[in-house]
Amino acid sequence: MYRQRLTIDTRGRGTYEITRQVQQVVERSEVAEGLCHVFIHHTSASLIVCENADPTVRRDLETYAARLAPDGDPSYIHDAEGPDDMAAHLRSILTLTSLTVPVASRQCDLGIWQGIFLWEHRTSPHRRRITITVVGDEGEPD
């Protein structure tokens, strides 16, 4: 088992690709065949696997989220940290706090268009903590 923690400083709401950082941890782990687990220690930012070639996908995703879980909805009671507070929790719950990817031949075995993204749901910049855990063995699979 190999573990590494990352800190990502976001510039506020939006998607931040972390595929390269996750890949670097897998390389350092020396695990050849296994699984890579990514976890975000927050409830107002989340993880997604998303198409990483065309940035309009992530622009549309943001537009969509604004409709699916809008800021400042009059039904929200929880607004301690502003109109984006409850919207951020909802978007986090509808996406992921943890995800796991196969490791094959010392690489994250992602599909050709798959990237791993941190999705910051708060409008202001935040420092986000991520833990990456790699399990498996250094040889070939059975």
Query: Could you say whether residue 51 binds its own copies (CB under 8 A)?
Result: yes
Query: Could you say whether residue 54 binds its own copies (CB under 8 A)?
Result: yes
3-state secondary structure the chain: CEEEEEEEECCCCEEEECHHHHHHHHHHHCCCEEEEEEEECCCCEEEEEEECCCCHHHHHHHHHHHHHCCCCCCCCCCCCCCCCHHHHHHHHHHCECEEEEEEECCEECCCCCEEEEEEECCCCCCEEEEEEEEEEECCCCC
User: Restricting to residues 71-100, which ones interact with its own copies according to CB under 8 A?
Assistant: 75-78, 80, 86, 89-90, 92-95, 97-100
CB of 36 to its own copies, least distance (A): 10
| CB of 33 or CB of 123, closer to its own copies | 33
Query: Could you say whether residue 9 binds its own copies (CB under 8 A)?
Result: no
